[in-house]
Structure 1
Amino acid sequence: MEPGAAADLVLVDGDPTTRLSATLNTRAVWRRGRRLAS
C-alpha cells in the first residue's frame, strides 16, 4: 500500500471475521479504485 495507489475493496453488511455468511451480503465493490457494483 502507498498513498495515491488504487485499491480493491468489497463492502459487506456484517462482520465476515465472525460470521462468514456476511460475505453473501455484498453492498459495494471497488476494483483499482473504481466502483463496480452496489
Structure 2
Amino acid sequence: MTSQPVIYPVILCGGSGTRLWPLSRQQFPKQFVPLIQGKS
C-alpha cells in the first residue's frame, strides 16, 4: 500500500494581502505563494 500525500486545506480570503507581503504582490498573487514545502 502506498501512502497518500498529506493535504493541507488553506482558505485565502480577498483583500490587499498585506499580511503576506512581500511574498504576495500584484505580479505574484497569494494563491500562488509556496507556503508548505515549496508548493502552492
Q: TM-score range by the shorter chain?
A: under 0.3
Greater C-alpha Rg: 2
TM-score relative to the length of structure 2: 0.24
Q: TM-score when scaled to structure 1?
A: 0.25
